[in-house]
Structure 1
Amino acid sequence: MGLYIEARIRADLDELWSASQEPSRHQRWDLRFTEIEHLPRAEGEPQHFRYATRVLPFLTVAGTGVSAGETQRPDGSRTSALRFASPHPLSLLAEGSGYWRYVPDGDGVRFLTGYDYRPRWGRLGAVADRLLFRPLMGWATAWSFDRLRLWLERGITPERALFNWLTEIAVRVLVAGVAVTGLGLESFLRLFGPFAAPMAYLSPLLLLVALSLALFLPPRAATPAARRCLRTPPTRARAPRLLRTLENPR
């Protein structure tokens, strides 16, 4: 089962193309990559690239890929196709392919991707991919798309967006922890003075409300969220013909 993610971004098409195609800008917002580097190429050849992802502070998984783009399509849209592979033995992702489409839509652009890959490690890898890695990749892609949207629409840099997300997660965890354990409840009730005793009867309800807010309150507008992206294609999605012209990277 391939992955599909779509975001509508109110931005100029050229600006969106630049932010997603230039390695130095792409690696800033895409959570899946730590480094992206274009490799030298001859005139007329597809663009080869190297990518790396820091899985742990002491472990970086790298791979290579090849991509090509179409910037002048009859309907005004643009397309980028790629194939990628990682020889690293600790990389669950062995090889794969995908595409990006940029479809003008009123005052914005429908920015969408579809991709799939082959996991390694045999049956164990297939199970780990289905239960953990593939859902995580889908979430990371959608979260990154919304992070890009905030950058282009509102000027919130990817670094600031990450800080906003981490801060919000920390606050939610703190509130949930207080709600579950009841820490500080006695000090909180003292604020109500003579009404502390009646408020004590409401404390379970207050804790339940606090826990519900921590778990289910929508993310702030300045915080990237995967839930804002479409995860199922509205119509049957097909890979562009451009993808067929690319050979698997060596």
Structure 2
Amino acid sequence: MGLYIEAHIRADLDALWAHTQDPARHQRWDLRFTEIDHLARVPGEPQRLRYATRVLPCLVIAGTGVLAGERERPDGTRTSALRFASPHPLSLLAEGSGYWRYVPVGDGVRFLTGYDYRPRWGRFGALADRFVLRPLTGWATAWSFDRLRLWLERGITPERARRNWLAETAARALTAVGCVAGLSRGPVLDDLSPAVAFLVPLLLVVALSLALGAPPLATTPAARRCRRTPSARVTAPRVLRALERQP
């Protein structure tokens, strides 16, 4: 698969399954979607769904998907697979497929995803996907997985987690801007004593380094907490291959 994200979530497998398979809860923590709705199910056919993403206040891009899941497997793991497509002409993402895998471990669940898609718009679309959409989608998936982890492990709702992230991001940005502005005012430091003139830039550099590189707070979701490459060779699950063969 083109993109791989893995999170270690210290939670019950049933709780994780419910928070990811229920559309109402899924759309709360997944940054990639604004709306997720299951469509009326036809007996004998996989579950179909509709998803939408609000790109701008006046622009919503929607698509549809076909969902299949294996709730119980002999090895104790669970898997769900999705084939999706968007007919919207402004959607760079044309169609794709992916899976979620739930692997119980001693103190929780390894929750991982692998997915890939085909961009539209020809060569321009391929370049836009490589340098913009694919990195952004990978980051958004990892960030969302960590937001889900905070919800299950610490009881921090997705809405509160988003506020925490916005507040911390704003604080870091303001600190960085203030430090850069302070360092650029070199002539002002000439009026200070040599010791103070040496100490102030040093403190500004330290503050700037912390603003840019310090680990995020424990209550703030962060994509960096998720694994972005598999630790071993990964193959698509059987349920996904079967779903992709369906018309």
Give TM-score, length-normalised by structure 1: 0.92
User: How far did residue 249 of structure 1 move?
Assistant: 9.0
- CA separation of 1:182 and 1:249: change in aligned 2, threshold 3 A: farther
Q: For 2:245 and 2:122, how far apart are their aligned partners in 1?
A: 21
Matched, 1:230 2:246: no
User: How far did residue 72 of structure 1 move?
Assistant: 1.2
Check whether the contact 1:84–1:249 (CA below 8 A) recurs between aligned residues. no
Alignment of 1:145-184 (within 5 A): 145-182=145-182
User: How far did residue 44 of structure 1 move?
Assistant: 2.9
Matched, 1:122 2:119: no
Aligned to 2:16: 16
Matched, 1:92 2:89: no
Q: Tell me, what secondary structure is at the counterpart of 1:178?
A: helix
Q: Deviations over 1:64-101 (max 9, x none)?
A: 00011001100000000110000001000000000000
User: How far did residue 201 of structure 1 move?
Assistant: 2.6
Aligned to 2:105: 105
Check whether the contact 1:82–1:97 (CA below 8 A) recurs between aligned residues. yes
Matched, 1:83 2:80: no
- CA separation of 1:93 and 1:61: change in aligned 2, threshold 3 A: same
User: How far did residue 248 of structure 1 move?
Assistant: 7.8
Q: Deviations over 1:114-173 (max 9, x none)?
A: 000000000000001001110000000000000000000000000000000000000001
What is the aligned length?
A: 242
- CA separation of 1:87 and 1:248: change in aligned 2, threshold 3 A: farther
Q: For 1:28 and 1:176, how far apart are their aligned partners in 2?
A: 31
Task: In structure 2, give the amino acid aligned to 1:30.
Answer: D
User: How far did residue 247 of structure 1 move?
Assistant: 5.1
Q: Tell me, what secondary structure is at the counterpart of 2:165?
A: helix
Identity %: 75
Check whether the contact 1:82–1:246 (CA below 8 A) recurs between aligned residues. yes
Check whether the contact 1:83–1:248 (CA below 8 A) recurs between aligned residues. no
Check whether the contact 2:97–2:244 (CA below 8 A) recurs between aligned residues. no
- CA separation of 1:202 and 1:9: change in aligned 2, threshold 3 A: same
CA RMSD of superposed structures (Å): 1.9
Alignment of 1:195-234 (within 5 A): 198-234=195-231
Q: Deviations over 1:32-53 (max 9, x none)?
A: 0000000001233210000000
Give TM-score, length-normalised by structure 2: 0.94
Aligned to 1:37: 37
User: How far did residue 203 of structure 1 move?
Assistant: 1.3
- CA separation of 1:131 and 1:249: change in aligned 2, threshold 3 A: farther
User: How far did residue 197 of structure 1 move?
Assistant: 6.5
User: How far did residue 22 of structure 1 move?
Assistant: 0.3
Mean Cα displacement is larger for which, 198-207 or 69-78? 198-207
Aligned to 1:244: 241
Task: In structure 1, give the amino acid aligned to 2:76.
Answer: G
Q: For 2:140 and 2:76, how far apart are their aligned partners in 1?
A: 28
User: How far did residue 198 of structure 1 move?
Assistant: 3.1
Q: Tell me, what secondary structure is at the counterpart of 1:220?
A: coil
Q: Where does structure 1 lack aligned partners over 5 or more consecutive residues?
A: 190-194
